[in-house]
Chains A and B, each alone.
Chain A
Amino acid sequence: MNKTTRAWLTGGIFGGLIALISGGLVGFLAGIIAGMVTGLLVAKHVVQRTPMEGFRRGAQNGLIAGMFVLVGQLLRGLLINPIIDPHHAGLHAVYTAALGGLVLSGLVAGLFGAVNTLPAPRNRAWSVGLIVLLVLAYPWLDQLLELRFMNEIIPVIVFVLMALGLNIVVGYAGLLDLGYAAFFAIGAYTTGLLASPHLGVNMSIWIAIWISAAVAAIFGLILGAPTLPLRGDYLAIVTLGFGEIVPIAVNNLDKLNINILGYNVVKDFDLTGGSKGLNPIGRPWLPFIGEFRADSPIPWYYLILIIMAFSIFFIMRLRDSRIGRAWMAMREDELAASSMGIDIVRTKLMAFSMGATFSGFAGAFYGSYISAIFPSSFAFDVSVMLLCMVILGGMGNITGVIVGGLIIQLADRLFLPQLSQLVQKLFEKSDIAVLKELNFASDFRVLLFGLTLVIMMNIRPEGLLPSADVRAELHSGDDDDAVVATGVKQTV
């Protein structure tokens, strides 16, 4: 397939699906997303000389992608809406959003195309700048289009942050951690205990968040020290167990008894609130803004963006340092790495506890944001989902992990629920009895999710945006033969 065709097709499918599933004013947003995806992909593959030319090229493809949005929007507005909601009015709004999506798609794609014609380092900087601008402007857009996605988007970013931390462990150091959510729980509960009336500590969240990250790191060390010297598969099993134990332990620590020499030192002490969880957890306070509130997500949004920016900055520094090199060398060939002077256990431990730190930090923020935490928020499927985010986007590549994380999280929190709602309504209107009985929302959500991943692993196992080396590794059939050949050569 032609690279430009692939660009508008990818952008168009994303935008079209979003428009189809959500309908309404989301069509505008769908257009922006379609345009952004198309524009970035076109710019990546086709070099244009003048900004004008770049704009035209981007806009052309953006408009094609926009047609998908238009069609999705029209299908939704003219065919589906009348079925699920006969009293649905406002064809006018449908047309506006459809056309708006189309135009925005062309415009945004054109912008990215134009920016990419700038000389070498600046084109990248400007592309990133445009994305940052869009992200910063999102709350305004949300309000304008009355989308009310803000409350979902904040946890989305928290999870992407965690995926970035997991990427250090899995992508850089090559350690399979199946219980990563445990550190998320530890971070959240540490904050829960320190910044809530539960134990009467009521510490400021600004301090508690750092302590939470440190506690998670320490748990990482405690768990890692005995297991990391073992072979990879053992680590996977131990972390799997740890991921199961933490929520169960938290669930049962509401009647803590400690006996020493027959004396009941601690009797029925409620440490974690059991299945009722901890609540309310303190919120951040800032001068001018005051205390962050649950009903106004904007300060939270910018706070997590700032945390995200710092995290990406630090992860990039780590990656490009002596330590990052040691992680990657270890992933490539542990034996050779140790012979080049890398202390394997120490290096693994560092990656593992670094990952735990990020998870703990994210957990602390999350706990404070939703203000109440329960053991069930940290079950095994959270760990699996995080792993999927890392794998979908492309292990070892920061951009890839962010994109993969956004796709899975946005799909899981926004679009799959909307889709199941939609299908549910269609089923209810249909005449087939079996379909009416089905509860699409709870029965099929996970199935769809799993299906996406199975398809993904089959057609593009290296992830959407792989780091160069992983792609090479997974598509190196010919090279493997070469290695075998040289192996023979040597022993002759």
Chain B
Amino acid sequence: MAPILVAQGIVKQFGGLTAVNKVDFELEAGSISSLIGPNGAGKTTFFNMITGLYVPTSGSFIFAGQKINGLRPHEVTRAGIGRTFQNIRLFAHMSARENVLVGQHTRLRTGLIGALLRPKRVRDEEAAAVTKANDLLDYVGLSRQRSSDSAKNLPYGDQRRLEIARALATDPQLLLLDEPTAGMNPQETDDLTKLIRRIRDERKITILLIEHDMKVVMGISEKVTVLDHGAKISEGLPYQVASDEQVIEAYLGKGAAAHGKSGRKSSASSPSA
């Protein structure tokens, strides 16, 4: 299949620091892929460049045949890329349902005049939007009773799910998930992994996720890309990457590869786990 997203020679510098260094990257349409790497490797920075929050120092992104760098974040969203955030960024004081309604913003047409006069067209659109929001909340497994609660009052795991529902509301072709299972217990992680797979299978949405939990990465990725100090050091099928010496070295430090001992990341973070 043709790649849905192509990154060519992406560089991002913050002053003297090179956060992402000449990364070439391709994402196959309909796939689930992972972007991994130690803390500070530049993964989130890479996401932020795709979604227009950062402008790459050099290089370009091509999404579905269209060059998207230089577009502003809302234009990228309109083009069909949805995302979640590593540090949950819900609209804390709006209800769960309202959060998902905001996600539909670019897919709705109501303008100033429409909002003021509220003709039938607008009422219908709004009713459909609410139905869609409820469906999405169901889909990610948030209970109906909680949909009127402020986002900030939801349990942590539900907040992560709500972020996914909100991103799905933008009708993306490509969904970027930044550490979706961070802070979850094994049961929650398991459920979320299933959800991610369902999103791809049922909705045909391409998924790229940043993840530290290697069980998740190995379990659902069809391709894994490893960043270290901003550079791509390895790429391939999960088991190939897991046995790549350079990767093990990046995670565990020099010499660790030879000894095969677990290093600084204790919780299932070693790629060989």
Bound Cα distance from A67 to B88, whole angstroms: 53
Give the chain A neighbours of B73 by CB distance below 8 A.
335, 338-339
Number of A positions contacting B (CB below 8 A): 36
Interface residues of A in 294-332 (CB under 8 A from B): 314, 317-318, 321-326, 328-329, 332
Q: Are the CB atoms of A490 and B110 closer together than 8 Å?
A: no
Q: Which residues on B sit within 8 Å (CB–CB) of A329?
A: 91, 94, 102, 105
Give B166's nearest chain A residue, CB to CB. Answer: A340
- Once bound together, how far apart are the Cα atoms of A298 and B112, in whole Å? 33
How far apart are the CA atoms of A334 and B158 in the complex, in Å? 22
Residue of A nearest to B179 (CB): A490
What is the interface size of chain B, counting residues whose CB is below 8 A from a CB of the partner? 47
A37 to B183, CA, bound (A): 48
Do residues A335 and B53 form an inter-chain contact, with CB atoms below 8 A? yes
Contact mask for chain B residues 151-192; partner A; CB cutoff 8 A; 1 contact, 0 none: 010001000000000110110000000010011000000000
Given the known A-B contacts A326-B105, A472-B152, are A338 and B74 also in contact in the complex, defined by CB atoms under 8 Å? yes
Contact A322-B93, Cβ < 8 Å, known A317-B118, A336-B85, A342-B74: no
- Interchain CB contact under 8 A, A324 and B115: yes
List A residues 51-99 near B (Cβ within 8 Å): none
Q: Is A341 an interface residue (CB 8 A)?
A: yes
Q: Does B89 contact A (CB under 8 A)?
A: yes
Interface assignment of A281: CB less than 8 Å from any CB of chain B: no
Q: Which of B39, B92, B94, B115 contacts A322 (CB 8 A)?
A: B115
Assess A489 versus B92: contact at CB under 8 Å? Given A323-B115, A340-B166, A341-B77: no
A489 and B183 contact, Cβ closer than 8 Å, known pairs A317-B118, A329-B91, A340-B105: yes
Query: A324-B115, A472-B152 in contact; A340/B88 too (CB < 8 A)?
Result: no
CB distance from A53 to the nearest CB of B (A): 31
Is the beta-carbon distance between B91 and A335 smaller than 8 angstroms? no
Residues of B within 8 A of A318 (CB): 112, 115-116
Say yes or no: is B211 at the interface (Cβ < 8 Å to chain A): no
A interface with B by C-beta (< 8 Å): 314, 317-318, 321-326, 328-329, 332-333, 335-344, 350, 354, 468-470, 472-473, 479, 486-487, 489-491
Q: Is the CB of B94 within 8 A of A328?
A: yes
Besides A318-B112, A329-B105, 5 other A-B contacts (C-beta < 8 A): A324-B115, A328-B94, A341-B106, A473-B93, A490-B87
Chain B contacts of A469 at CB under 8 A? 93-94, 150
Residues from chain A with a CB closer than 8 A to the CB of B194 are none
A423 to chain B, nearest CB (A): 43
* Closest chain A residue to B156, Cβ basis: A486
Alpha-carbon distance A486/B163, docked complex (angstroms): 15
**CA separation between A343 and B78, bound complex, in Å?**
10
Tell me which of A314, A325, A339, A344 contacts B83 (CB under 8 A).
Answer: A339
| Contacting residues, chain B, for A479 (C-beta < 8 A) | 152
Assess A323 versus B112: contact at CB under 8 Å? Given A339-B77, A341-B78. yes
A339 touching B51 by the CB < 8 A rule? yes
Interface set, chain B 195-244, CB cutoff 8 A to A: none
Contact of A341 with B116 at beta-carbon distance under 8 Å, contacts A329-B91, A329-B94, A335-B89 already known: no
Assess whether B262 is interfacial by the CB under 8 Å rule.
Answer: no
CA distance A128 to B151 in the complex (A): 31
**Complex CA distance for A323 and B115, rounded to whole angstroms:** 7
CB nearest neighbor in A for B51: A339
* Distance, CA A468 to CA B93, complexed state (A): 8
The 3 A-B residue pairs whose C-beta atoms are closest, nearest first, are A469-B93, A341-B106, A321-B115
A118 to B170, CA, bound (A): 43
* A341 and B53 contact, CB distance less than 8 A: no
Partner of B39, one of A317, A333, A344, A491: A491
Contact of B93 among A321, A472, A490 (CB under 8 A): A472
Establish whether residues A328 and B91, one from each chain, have CB atoms under 8 Å apart when the complex forms: yes
Residues of A within 8 A of B51 (CB): 339
Chain B positions within 8 Å of A317 at CB level = 115-116, 118
Minimum CB–CB distance from B241 to chain A (whole Å) comes to: 23
Contact B90 A336, beta carbon cutoff 8 Å? yes
Q: List 6 A-B contacts (CB under 8 A).
A: A322-B101, A325-B98, A326-B102, A337-B102, A338-B53, A473-B93
Known: A332-B91, A469-B93. A322 touches B182 (CB 8 A): no
Asked if B103 is at the interface of the complex by the 8 Å CB criterion, the answer is: yes
Contacts A339-B77, A341-B77, A469-B94 hold; do A333 and B89 have CB atoms under 8 A apart? yes
Q: Which of B86, B89, B101, B116 contacts A490 (CB 8 A)?
A: B86
Q: Are B108 and A322 in contact (CB under 8 A)?
A: yes
Residue on B with the closest CB to A322? B110
Q: Does B254 touch A at the CB level, under 8 Å? A: no
Residues of B within 8 A of A340 (CB): 74, 77, 102-103, 105, 166-167, 169-170
B72, A338: Cβ atoms closer than 8 Å: yes
- Give the residues from 49 to 91 in chain B that come closer than 8 angstroms, CB to CB, to chain A: 51, 53, 72-74, 77-78, 83, 85-91
- Known contacts A472-B152, A490-B87, A339 near B93 by CB under 8 Å: no
Q: Which residue of B lies closest to A326 (CB)?
A: B105
Q: How far is the CB of B138 from chain A (nearest CB, A)?
A: 20
CA distance A325 to B126 in the complex (A): 12
- The CB with the most chain A CB atoms within 10 A, among B74, B118, B126, is that of B74
A467 (CB) vs chain B CBs: closest residue: B93
Among A322, A469, A489, the one with the most B-chain Cβ atoms within 10 Å of its Cβ is A322
Contact with A along B253-273 (1 / 0, CB 8 A): 000000000000000000000
